[in-house]
């Protein structure tokens, strides 16, 4: 297939690019580089530095079979400070992309969503049938709205849409500025031998999904027709404090913990049921948390400038 990846210079997008290419697909990536990093884009990719609003996108899309849409602002704290910017970039950007896809005759969308749409879940593990929860930040609201527009284009224009609700991705190549995700912050603090920031004393439970496993879900979804929603997680919950202890054990020393107290908007536990994606796409997580942490630590050790 000929696949266009939005946000193709980002953490997840760069890994999806490589997997697509290695499986024989032709890949075009777009990214405005406001958050992405051109140096992590595989040289085999046909890369364009443009935004979703650029009129050139319709010409670029011609002849493609599918779009994997990952271009969005993701920093939860920033979304509280800049709700208009998040709505404009995430929601309006997605609507413009869908319209451009329709104009170009490209009617297959794999959309990067998030487990945050469930809010505080009523029960665990979380299935795709769980109701969408009350949101406590604009980022979560944008993900729900983006999902709804994707569904709308399925209903109105017969788009094939697969929505992937990620749990907690991590792994090599995460270079966000600022970095808001737990594992890269833990690893970088530990390697730099500085105090490690920790909320809720690390008692939250999360389902951490390694980046290579997550990327595979996108490629498998290319073969789907109709409308599908899948959780992408390991089905294994880990206390955040236990992740910190694993990192300490792997590197062979500990650093002080900076107790950040409570943080508004955090839910106590998020653990996926991945039964649906296993049954329908044959996907399952393969990389253990221990193995994934070792690979992530090796990545940051190899890039001291990113610590």
- The residues assigned a catalytic role are 139
DSSP one-letter code for 61: H
Round to whole Å and give the CA distance between 224 and 39. Answer: 31
Kind of pairing, strands 205-206 and 238-239? antiparallel
Q: Where are the alpha helices (DSSP H) in the chain?
A: 11-22, 56-61, 76-81, 83-86, 93-104, 138-157, 182-192, 211-221, 240-251, 275-281, 289-302
φ, ψ (nearest 5 deg) of residue 227: -115, 125
Contact 147, 135 (CB under 8 A): no
The owner of tokens 């749409």 is: 117
């Amino acid at each position: 297939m000929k696949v266009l990846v939005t946000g193709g210079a980002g953490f997840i997008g760069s890994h999806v690019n490589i997997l697509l290419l290695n499986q024989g697909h032709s890949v075009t990536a777009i990214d405005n580089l406001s958050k992405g990093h051109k140096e992590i884009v595989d040289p085999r990719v046909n890369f364009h530095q443009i935004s979703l609003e650029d009129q050139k996108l319709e010409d670029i899309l011609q002849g493609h079979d599918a779009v994997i849409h990952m271009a969005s602002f993701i920093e939860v704290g920033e979304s509280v400070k800049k709700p208009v910017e998040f709505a404009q970039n995430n929601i309006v950007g997605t609507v413009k992309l869908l319209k451009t896809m329709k104009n170009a005759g490209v009617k297959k969308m794999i959309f990067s969503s998030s487990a945050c749409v469930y809010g505080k879940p009523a029960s665990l593990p979380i299935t795709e049938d769980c109701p969408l929860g009350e949101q406590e930040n604009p980022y979560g609201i944008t993900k729900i709205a983006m999902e709804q527009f994707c569904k709308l284009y399925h209903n109105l224009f017969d788009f094939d849409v697969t929505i992937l609700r990620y749990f907690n991705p991590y792994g090599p190549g995460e270079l966000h500025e600022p970095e808001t995700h737990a594992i890269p912050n833990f690893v970088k603090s530990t390697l730099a031998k500085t105090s490690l920031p920790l909320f809720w004393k690390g008692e939250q439970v999360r389902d951490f999904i390694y980046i290579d496993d997550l990327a595979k879900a996108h490629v498998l979804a290319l073969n789907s027709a109709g409308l599908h929603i899948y959780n992408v997680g390991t089905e294994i919950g880990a206390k955040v404090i236990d992740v910190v202890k694993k990192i300490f054990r792997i590197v062979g020393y500990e650093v002080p913990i900076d107790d950040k107290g409570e943080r508004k908007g955090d839910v106590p536990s998020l653990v996926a049921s991945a039964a649906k994606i296993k049954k329908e796409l044959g996907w399952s997580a393969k990389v253990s948390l221990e193995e994934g942490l070792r690979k992530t630590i090796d990545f940051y050790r190899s890039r001291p400038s990113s610590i």
